[in-house]
Structure 1
Amino acid sequence: MVSLHRTTKIALMVITDLIALPFCFLIAMLLRGGDLKLASHFGPASYILVAVVTIAAFSVSDLYRAVIRFIDQRLLSATGIALGIAISGAYAVTFSIKEENFPRSALAIYWFIVFSYVIASRIGVRTVLRNGHAGQRVAIEVVAIYGAGDAGARLAQAMRNSEEYRPVCFFDDKHALNDRNIGGLRVFNTDRLPEIVDAMCIRSIVIALPSVSPERLRDIMQRLAQAGISTKILSRLVDLADDKATPRDSIRDLKFEDLLGRPPVPPRVDLFARCVSGKAVLVTGAGGSIGAELCRQIATLGPRRLHLLDHSEFALYTIRQELAARFPDLGVDAHLGSVCNADLVERILRAGPIDTIYHAAAYKHVPLVETNIVEGLRNNVLGAQVIAAQAARHGVETCVLISSDKAVRPTNVMGASKRIAELIFQAAAVRHGPGNGMNTTFCMVRFGNVLGSSGSVIPLFQRQIARGGPLTITHPDVSRYFMLIPEAAQLVIQAGAMAKGGDVFVLDMGEPVRIVDLARTLIALSGLTEKTLQNPGGDIEIRYVGLFPGEKLHEELLTDGVVFPSEHPRIMRMKENALRPGVLDTFVTCLMMACETHERTMIEAMVKTIVTEYSPSRPIVEPAAAPVAAAATTTAATAPLAAPQQRLGLIKKFVPFRI
């Protein structure tokens, strides 16, 4: 019966009612008259007319469109009301035509009989269908529903017929609902959540709060984390008019965006395609998490040609194959090599021509860069310098640098290198921007932590959970701003469209998230419990390992620069203080020379000279103020890098410390 076509089911219900309803009216007449005399006074046409009017009332109340397996009290009440209105209308008609022989009180009796028939027939069929369907179930997951509102009640009805789920209770924060019964399920206050979960052997909880705010959702997830139970979420209401709908269609696992504590920021369509559609675009670091997502979103906007540059053969191959499969008509050129190779970058731009560059190539892992400062500085600083110089030389229209929140008052070399890269792009904007009669617009985008990117805490925690723990966190109070990979890519693309030259763009990412809260939520989403002193039998331990060298407890997004609104309401635009281009050239040259010595103290001192707000975790000799004359600038910029003594002597002119 369940597998029959919907139209066939409706036809069967109408035919059954058409047969049963005349008998209901006959019983009403017998009860009214006491014998067959009154009932036989009216011919068959009268009984058929009453049945037709009743069926019309059923149709108005949507009784025939309802799925019998999910029929509920609300629908039966609507049917009773519609039937009452129809009978009242019939009573008025008989009164107006002054039909004295018709027993009007029989109509009231008929209402009770028909309503009893509807309840008995529909509930009876529902019970038979549910019991027959339940016999085919193999493995059913015992679940609770968080939220005893309309959405939760409808979900519980759908679950009762599911082959996967068996709802046993509701949880709700409202004390007024405590110990109430909704749809046959008891409602418990969330204060009793751990107790009830254990008592009823509940395996997972489905959050049925479709209109809940992201902040509230994150609080709920953290509360459920304490109970150590797997959590899912109702993504959309089950359409009960569709008997093919199942809870699986509406329940999903929690995603990265649910952990943000804020709704994702949507892009503005008019900004999105301005620097991409019909243009030749170069993405450096195209094989990385951000670079690859940039390529995917750029490919959807109809670029004339897309150039990929990455020094990782496997990463470049992977994104190239993905784009070829998804966008077979898009012209893609994959270039293998380092962004620090000025000759390679020049060949790419000369062969283009390139209209837009998104510079995503960088080393970003703080601990790795902190222990490999020479390569980190060369890649991040020299790469930015090469891209900026070549973009200006070849007339690229827009050049966007992807920076980091760690560039704000940096305490590590990675953050300082990104701040130097920002200074390089700011200097390029002064030299080669539209305000100087040139046609290249340089801008920067400052990211928070990107959920799901390589090196972010989410993949790390997932691997640690898969191994059975522990989850390693540097400090219980450490917090970070988070954004999604698509948000990051969309921010980069929109920034280029809004840039005026030398701008720094920052996404409004809401409030920072504590890493320990993120860890506990992920443990709960995995259906596990945290192992603590109070719960020694838990599954996963959270272990604090201490802050890494150069790591901050709390990151920042804004410096002391001036903040302006942008064309997007959730993206901020800043103008920050910058070094004079000639001075910066000298300092960068000296920094690269210091890297040749591999002397950490000298390198950090030079970094401190460029980024005065840099505060490394280990003390260094503070460099004195370095007046730079034009002649000295020329000397530094053209000095040979071959002789170590010459390098040291030249650096000491600008960074006078003891060697």
Structure 2
Amino acid sequence: MSRFIQRSHITFVHDIFMAAVSFPLALYMRVGEGIQFYDLNSIMLSSLAFMLIAAASFWYFGLYRGIWRYASLNDLSTIAKAVTAAVAILFLVLFLTTRLDWLPRSAPLIQWFLLMALLGGPRLIYRVAKDKSTARAFARQGTTRLPVLLIGAGDEAETFIRETQRSADTVFKVIGIVSLTEGRVGRNIHGVEVLATVDKLEDIVKKLEAGKNGLPRRLVLSGDALRHEDNVKWVEIADRYGMTLARLPKLGDLREGLADPLQIRPVAIEDLLGRPQARLDRDRVREMIGGKRVLVTGAGGSIGSELVRQIASYGPSSLTLVDAGEYNLYAIDMEMAEKHPDLARQSILGDVRDRKRIGQVFDHAMPELVFHAAAYKHVPLVEHNPNEGILTNTLGTRNVAEACRAAGVSTMVLISTDKAVNPANVMGASKRLAECYCQALETLPADQRGKTRFVTVRFGNVLGSTGSVVPLFRRQLEAGGPLTVTHEGITRYFMTIAEAVELVLQSAELGRHGVTDGGKIFVLDMGRPVKIVDLARQMILLSGLRPGKDVEIKVTGLRPGEKLYEELFHDSEPPVPTETDGVMLASPRVVDYAEIRQVFDALEDSATNRNTHKTLELISQLVPEFQPPEIGVKSIFSDAPAEAGSKQVGGSA
């Protein structure tokens, strides 16, 4: 701190000295040798007055917050403001005291340009000299910078190149740029040439390998390159040539000082979705949530907890968190206490299976918006515990939906899954039944349905959620492998948790205006499905390792109820676009409410009594696509005792 104060004092003394001499110099530049005929006392007094005025102006405009080493156009703009103010004040004072009878009218303009040069010139010279001395220091020390190739020729690339060229701390040297478009090919950014477009990436890598700089050590993605559809190919090219793939911080982070401009970060799996993430209309969502009483079931799960975080940021009047898992509920409750201490909230332990408990919660909280995310979601566990899956996913949804009707909730949002389309497992079928119930309610006449709109949102896997493949692969990588894949051809849709929740909120906002009339279901656009074996290979590569050599990928075989691929739409559900990018509507396949109530009552009886055969039979009545197992059911499931491992954890769908 003392060093900064000392340097700022030196700079201050330099600047006011330059201000003092600028007045007589400007006068001399205007009148030349004729200055000898001017009154010396008037010149001296005017110089002294200007020095004092300039000192106040320079300090007021903050000329000493900047660092000469990083002098820029922003600093020049600040200097211009301070000089303009000082010159204007001086000549106002001289006009009021002497009417400027003795001073040429052009002198103020000359002084302005002169003082700008006297203040800005030394700063620029210092920066240039410092940059050159840094480069010479690297040369003297024989420091070798790692060659990197940038993908993307936008603002982030320019910022990174500028920082690497002027910083003594970076170990990176940008040796070329590959552009996403043709427009900048052949041009350069701070002397670094834009070599080609990305479709010629491998040719450029080969050319650089044969050149004086050698093979780039890293491919660095900037800007829109992170969302480019070909970024998965770049991983493969990097692997072939022994390079690693990395990304720059976002430009907003660079501008806000939230990240080191010279830091190159590993590419995250979510960067390889191959599509831009959807944008949320925050104003409309804030209008929906702001000042409202909101309730979230499964609030401690992956989706539920992110719902809680995002909802809290929109200013609800109160937020009720419901979960059957004590620790998960405690964790999100503590997070809300730290981040939103003034938000009225209550955290309630409760199981959505318990109709009476859910009724008590609704009577107490009186919610206006309900987000139902509580569910069992792990396919093999639900496959081996089908009655538990039905009790939670299906009948739990019925309990929440009927509580919403009774409490006059404005909108209930059901979180569903792509596994509900042509379900090959109990989990998917249980979620399809939940969809059916909400659709049936939504199609009732308004006098029977009540005030509540029932909105269903269907999407696929979310990256990083509990029990999903990405955390599994990370744990397996930390253990040294192998990474286990159930089938080489298996594919899944993916999106980030934050993106999924943003689109859920957007769908809820659309749904409350009647977009889902007739029982339509919102389906989130998840881009192209990703092969799980490719995902495993990419995670190994992004860890700096080689698939099949450093870490093995092991095929273990499909698990019970697992499909090779998932679908977002049933054949009888043609997609309908909405006004929101990333959100579509599935045409309804609606079951009559009276019929579904009758089957649900029978399901409750069979599932509660653990009559597995009857439960599976009833499921197939409403979901004909679901074919219950015909072989070995008797040996796997017992009709009488409660099934092992059944524990409601309040996770999210």
The equivalent of 1:570 in structure 2 is 582
The equivalent of 2:172 in structure 1 is 166
- Tell me the amino acid that sits aligned with residue 328 of structure 1: P
Contact 2:205 2:216 in 1 (8 A): no
Residues 551 and 226 (structure 1), Cα distance of their counterparts in 2 relative to 1, 3 Å cut: farther
Q: Quick one: which of 126, 133, 136 aligns to 1:131? A: 136
Residues 387 and 227 (structure 1), Cα distance of their counterparts in 2 relative to 1, 3 Å cut: farther
The equivalent of 1:604 in structure 2 is 616
Point out where structure 1 has 5 or more consecutive residues left out of the alignment: 19-41, 46-64, 72-118, 532-537, 622-642, 645-659
Q: Quick one: which of 286, 293, 303 aligns to 1:280? A: 293
Residues 486 and 181 (structure 1), Cα distance of their counterparts in 2 relative to 1, 3 Å cut: closer
The equivalent of 2:230 in structure 1 is 216
Residues 150 and 349 (structure 1), Cα distance of their counterparts in 2 relative to 1, 3 Å cut: closer
Task: Provide the secondary structure at the position in 2 that maps to 1:540.
Answer: coil
Deviates more, 1:251-260 or 1:330-339: 251-260
- Tell me the amino acid that sits aligned with residue 453 of structure 1: S
Distance 2:316 2:152 in 1: 49
The equivalent of 2:524 in structure 1 is 507
Map 1:34-45 to 2 at 5 A.
none
Task: Provide the secondary structure at the position in 2 that maps to 1:248.
Answer: coil
Deviation at 1:561, TM superposition (A): 2.6
The equivalent of 1:155 in structure 2 is 160
Deviation at 1:141, TM superposition (A): 7.0
Contact 2:370 2:409 in 1 (8 A): yes
Residues 190 and 563 (structure 1), Cα distance of their counterparts in 2 relative to 1, 3 Å cut: closer
Deviation at 1:480, TM superposition (A): 1.6
Map 1:134-533 to 2 at 5 A.
142-147=146-151, 149=153, 155-156=160-161, 158-160=163-165, 161-167=167-173, 169-170=175-176, 172=178, 183=191, 190-191=202-203, 193=205, 204-208=218-222, 210=224, 213-227=227-241, 229-235=243-249, 248=261, 251-431=264-444, 434=446, 436=448, 438-499=450-511, 500=514, 501=517, 502-531=519-548
The equivalent of 2:650 in structure 1 is none
Contact 1:505 1:574 in 2 (8 A): yes
Map 1:636-655 to 2 at 5 A.
none
Deviation at 1:341, TM superposition (A): 0.9
Distance 1:239 1:511 in 2: 29
- Tell me the amino acid that sits aligned with residue 579 of structure 1: V
Structural RMSD (CA): 4.7
Distance 1:291 1:482 in 2: 17
Deviation at 1:529, TM superposition (A): 1.7
Contact 1:158 1:238 in 2 (8 A): no
Contact 1:566 1:572 in 2 (8 A): yes
Larger Rg: 1
Task: Provide the secondary structure at the position in 2 that maps to 1:461.
Answer: helix
Deviates more, 1:467-476 or 1:328-337: 467-476
Contact 2:227 2:271 in 1 (8 A): no
Contact 1:287 1:312 in 2 (8 A): yes
Contact 1:170 1:187 in 2 (8 A): yes
Distance 1:354 1:239 in 2: 37
Deviations 1:93-134 (A, max 9, x none): xxxxxxxxxxxxxxxxxxxxxxxxxx9999776432333478
The equivalent of 2:54 in structure 1 is none
- Tell me the amino acid that sits aligned with residue 277 of structure 1: G
Contact 2:302 2:466 in 1 (8 A): yes
Q: Quick one: which of 539, 545, 548 aligns to 2:550? A: 539
Deviation at 1:214, TM superposition (A): 2.6
Distance 1:281 1:463 in 2: 36
Map 1:586-605 to 2 at 5 A.
586-596=598-608, 598=610, 600-605=612-617
Residues 293 and 225 (structure 1), Cα distance of their counterparts in 2 relative to 1, 3 Å cut: farther
Contact 1:286 1:309 in 2 (8 A): yes
Distance 1:195 1:156 in 2: 21
Deviation at 1:563, TM superposition (A): 3.7
Residues 346 and 170 (structure 1), Cα distance of their counterparts in 2 relative to 1, 3 Å cut: same
Deviation at 1:235, TM superposition (A): 3.8
Distance 1:6 1:563 in 2: 68
- Tell me the amino acid that sits aligned with residue 514 of structure 1: K
Q: Identify the structure with bigger relative contact order (alpha carbons < 8 Å, sequence gap 6+).
A: 2
Contact 2:323 2:374 in 1 (8 A): yes
Residues 245 and 194 (structure 1), Cα distance of their counterparts in 2 relative to 1, 3 Å cut: farther
Contact 2:373 2:414 in 1 (8 A): yes
The equivalent of 1:557 in structure 2 is 568
Contact 1:299 1:327 in 2 (8 A): yes
Distance 1:610 1:521 in 2: 40
Deviations 1:507-528 (A, max 9, x none): 1222222222222222222222
Distance 2:255 2:373 in 1: 49
Point out where structure 2 has 5 or more consecutive residues left out of the alignment: 22-31, 36-65, 73-123, 634-638, 641-653
Residues 246 and 548 (structure 1), Cα distance of their counterparts in 2 relative to 1, 3 Å cut: closer
The equivalent of 1:62 in structure 2 is none
TM-score, structure 2 length as denominator? 0.69
Residues 319 and 181 (structure 1), Cα distance of their counterparts in 2 relative to 1, 3 Å cut: closer
- Tell me the amino acid that sits aligned with residue 578 of structure 2: S
Deviation at 1:273, TM superposition (A): 2.7
Deviation at 1:479, TM superposition (A): 1.7
Task: Provide the secondary structure at the position in 2 that maps to 1:564.
Answer: strand
TM-score, structure 1 length as denominator? 0.69
- Count of residue correspondences: 530
Contact 2:503 2:524 in 1 (8 A): yes
Distance 1:228 1:597 in 2: 59
Residues 185 and 575 (structure 1), Cα distance of their counterparts in 2 relative to 1, 3 Å cut: closer
Distance 2:434 2:337 in 1: 32
Contact 2:238 2:245 in 1 (8 A): yes
Contact 1:288 1:315 in 2 (8 A): yes
The equivalent of 1:80 in structure 2 is none
Residues 5 and 208 (structure 1), Cα distance of their counterparts in 2 relative to 1, 3 Å cut: farther
Deviation at 1:190, TM superposition (A): 2.6
Distance 2:206 2:556 in 1: 29
Deviation at 1:489, TM superposition (A): 1.5
Distance 2:125 2:453 in 1: 75
Q: Quick one: which of 544, 564, 584 aligns to 2:596? A: 584
- Tell me the amino acid that sits aligned with residue 515 of structure 1: I
Quick one: percent identity of the two aligned structures?
35
Deviations 1:197-238 (A, max 9, x none): 899686543224656753133432343244454322134569
Deviation at 1:44, TM superposition (A): 14
Distance 1:7 1:567 in 2: 60
- Tell me the amino acid that sits aligned with residue 596 of structure 2: L
Residues 296 and 212 (structure 1), Cα distance of their counterparts in 2 relative to 1, 3 Å cut: closer
Distance 1:173 1:418 in 2: 45
The equivalent of 2:52 in structure 1 is none
Distance 1:195 1:589 in 2: 70
Distance 1:374 1:207 in 2: 48
Deviation at 1:247, TM superposition (A): 5.9
The equivalent of 2:101 in structure 1 is none
Contact 2:147 2:218 in 1 (8 A): yes
Residues 409 and 181 (structure 1), Cα distance of their counterparts in 2 relative to 1, 3 Å cut: closer
Deviations 1:330-379 (A, max 9, x none): 11111112111111111111112111111100000111111221211211
Deviations 1:538-559 (A, max 9, x none): 3222222222222222211112
- Tell me the amino acid that sits aligned with residue 230 of structure 1: T
Distance 1:438 1:186 in 2: 62
